[in-house]
Each structure stands twice: as C-alpha cells, then as structure tokens.
C-alpha cells in the first residue's frame, strides 16, 4: 500500500509554499498526500497582503475526517496561526500513532507574521512535547530560545535548549548564515552538522516547507531520521539549484519535475 503523509498548514495561492508546496513534495517522493487547511493567505512571490485564520473547530473537523478514513504514516505542521489551533492540534497529537514533524513557520519569506505572539507559548509548551522533530530556521530558533545564534556552535547550543521543551529531535536550519548552507541536527543527545554548497539565487520561496515535507515523506516511507534528513537536504538543494525562475520576487523552487538528488 502506498505510504500516506499529512500536512496541517496554511494555503499559499502562488503554490510555492504552504500546503501546496507540501503536497507537491509528497508527490515527488512517491507518497500520497492529504491536507488540513489552517489559514488562507493572499500572497505571491512578492508579498503577503492578507492572512485569514480558520476556526479551530473547523480545523479539527478536517483533521478528524482525514484520520478516520486515510490515516497517515507521518504528518507535518506548517503555519498554524494562533494559540487556539496550536492547542487543538497539540491535544490531538497526544493520540497520534505516527511521527509528527513541526515546522514553526512563524514569519513568511516576505516578513509577514504567520503566528500570533500569544501563540508562541502554546507552540513551545504544548505542541513541541508531542513532536518527533521540529525544524526552526535561525530567527525561529532565536525566538524560541532567546539566544543569539551566529554560527554552528550557537546553533548546537540552541538545538539543545529547544530539546529541553520536550521535543524528541531538533533540526536548526542555517540558511540565514553566510557561506555554505549548514544545518544542525540534535538527536539522542548528539549533534550532527549537515553542509551543502549555497546556491546563489533569490528563488527560495517555500524552502522550509519543502524541506520539512521531504523529511515527512521519507519518514512515512519508513526511513530513519538521519537518513531522511540527509536525503531531504539533498532534495531541497537540488530543487533550489533547478528552480523554474517564476515570479518577480522570491520565486519557488523546482517541485514540478524530477531533481537529481
């Protein structure tokens, strides 16, 4: 039977990020994708002009409908919007029999806030303890830990600090640093550094969504965490390198054809 991966995330009508990017990534990895919509955005590659957050009961109704009929082998969260949705998903996650990957998605590529300030505590203390993996970028990791993160050593320190919130594994993405694209994976008390050559391009819209979705898809197929993370990093690097050059702003990566990863 084909593996199933679920995304619980916001909608990006331009297709480069959010649940649209997640579903495309699932397809590229040969898994069947299902989705729960948490919020709607008005955006393209240049700007986010509006965000409409759905009612938490409606979000849960979507989730229950999927779980009752097509239960996933792994799931991920993206933009959740507010504390009510975060708390609702966290409560359901206590009963999940599958691994949950949490992508914080606190701020869009354009700088628009995608999570209420009041929701950070709910995210930290209620959702993270029910997650198998969390994948913050540097600004998100800094927000969660109140640490200044400027290099690999401080990334390692931040990963250990985030793990103390109860999440099993932490992957801090170092795309905001200069030089190679360096990520730090914390698992079972150990840290591992993953490096890739930086691709010089503005077409990086949705990279965090795609990376976490690729990890989720690979976990759904039964891969172990380190193998899934390493292969997902290769996938996103290739997707950035072969981007289709769409849009007048931060364009999407390549999710429309096979990539040489």
Give, as one character, the DSSP assignment of residue 125: I
Q: Which of 204, 216, 237, 242 is catalytic?
A: 204
Would you call 208 a catalytic residue per the annotation? yes
Q: Which of 135, 143, 145, 209 is catalytic?
A: 209
* Cα gap 45→202, rounded to integer Å: 10
Q: Which of 81, 208, 247, 251 is catalytic?
A: 208
Q: Which of 24, 76, 126, 173 is catalytic?
A: 173
Site of tokens 């008005």 = 42
Would you call 15 a catalytic residue per the annotation? no
Q: Which of 10, 81, 174, 206 is catalytic?
A: 206
Site of tokens 């795309």 = 175
Give, as one character, the DSSP assignment of residue 215: H
Would you call 206 a catalytic residue per the annotation? yes
Would you call 204 a catalytic residue per the annotation? yes
261 CB contacts (<8 Å, ≥6 apart)?
A: 231, 234, 235, 237, 238, 239
Identify the burial level of 46 via C-beta atoms within 10 angstroms of its C-beta, where 0-12 means exposed, 13-18 middle and 19 or more buried: middle
Q: Which of 77, 207, 242, 259 is catalytic?
A: 207
Tokens of 194: 């993953």
Which residues are catalytic, by number? 173, 204, 206-209
């Amino acid at each position: 039977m084909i593996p199933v991966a679920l995304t619980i995330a916001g909608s990006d009508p331009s297709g480069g990020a959010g649940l649209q990017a997640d579903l495309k990534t699932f397809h590229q990895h040969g898994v069947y994708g299902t989705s729960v919509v948490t919020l709607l955005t008005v955006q393209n590659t240049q700007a986010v002009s509006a965000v409409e957050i759905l009612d938490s009961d409606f979000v849960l109704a979507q989730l229950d409908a999927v779980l009752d009929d097509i239960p996933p082998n792994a799931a991920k969260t993206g933009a959740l919007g507010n504390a009510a949705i975060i708390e609702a998903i966290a409560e359901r996650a206590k009963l999940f029999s599958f691994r949950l990957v949490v992508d914080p998605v606190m701020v869009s590529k354009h700088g628009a806030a995608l999570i209420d300030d009041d929701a950070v505590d709910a995210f930290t203390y209620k959702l993270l303890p029910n997650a198998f993996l969390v994948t913050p970028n540097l600004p998100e990791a800094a927000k969660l830990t109140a640490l200044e993160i400027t290099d690999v050593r401080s990334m390692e320190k931040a990963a250990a600090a985030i793990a103390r919130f109860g999440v099993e594994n932490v992957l801090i993405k170092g795309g905001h640093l200069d030089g190679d694209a360096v990520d730090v994976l914390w698992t079972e008390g150990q840290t591992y550094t993953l490096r890739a050559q930086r691709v010089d391009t503005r077409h990086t819209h949705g990279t965090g969504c795609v990376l976490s979705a690729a990890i989720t898809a690979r976990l759904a197929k039964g891969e172990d965490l380190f193998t899934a993370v390493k292969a997902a990093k290769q996938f996103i690097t290739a997707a950035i390198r072969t981007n289709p050059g769409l849009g007048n702003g931060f364009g999407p990566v390549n999710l429309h054809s096979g990539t040489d990863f």
